[in-house]
Amino acid sequence: MRAAQSVAEHYWSQRIGGGFQPVAEVVAYEREGEVSCGGQPLPLNNAVYCSAGDFIAYDVNWAFAAFQQLGDAFVYYLLGHEYAHAVQARLGIRKEFTIDQELQADCMAGAYIGDQVREGNLTMDDNDTTELSDGLEAVGDDPDQPWFAPGAHGSPQQRFQSFANGYEESLEPCGL
């Protein structure tokens, strides 16, 4: 997570320029409610960008299990997605529907990985593409989730497509 954080901060400081402020901190937690965001205790099995405190927090055991099951590329995606929410906050981006905010964050996570690979700062192993597609499949919404629901993130296909757009074509398909 720390390596992914430093890649993300390097990336966004280049893209946003001099005014870029890194997030206040990236916090690992182990217990439900150990960390709160704007008075809301954070649940287990989650990662989040908390705009109220400008920090990223994640359940470290859950992230470690995902790392073991899916691999390191997924951890870069996970941090990249949450970091993208921090960048959206810095750019004042607030979409009407959650799903648009989420799919843009997936696209931005794709761009940060793809651009860093193109610039030679990250190397993709043979398995990494499979890891990413499996991982995005796992974090996609269930088919019965309406796209306009407040918690909607997008179907597995939508999430993978957004990520792939950013990965292949950088920030332009993300609308940035």
Binding residues (CB under 5 A) for Zn ion: these are 102, 105
Give me the amino acid identity at 150: P
Q: Which is nearer to Zn ion, 102 or 115 (CB)?
A: 102
Beta carbons of 29 and 42 less than 8 angstroms apart: yes
Minimum CB separation from Zn ion for residue 125, in Å?
25
DSSP element (H, E) containing 72: helix 72-91
- Shortest distance in whole angstroms from residue 170 CB to Zn ion: 20
Q: Nearest residue by C-beta to Zn ion? A: 102
Question: What single-letter DSSP state applies at residue 23?
Answer: -
Task: For the CB of residue 126, give the shortest distance to Zn ion in the complex, in Å.
Answer: 28
- Distance in angstroms (rounded) separating the CA atoms of residues 38 and 149: 22
CB nearer Zn ion, residue 11 or residue 58: 58
> Which H or E run includes 168?
helix 156-169
Calculate the dihedral angle through the C-alpha atoms of 172, 113, 69, 83, rounding to the nearest 10 degrees.
-80
Question: Is the Cβ of residue 45 or residue 125 nearer to Zn ion in the bound state?
Answer: 45
Residue 5 Cβ vs Zn ion, minimum distance, rounded to whole Å: 16
Nearer to Zn ion, 105 or 113 (CB): 105
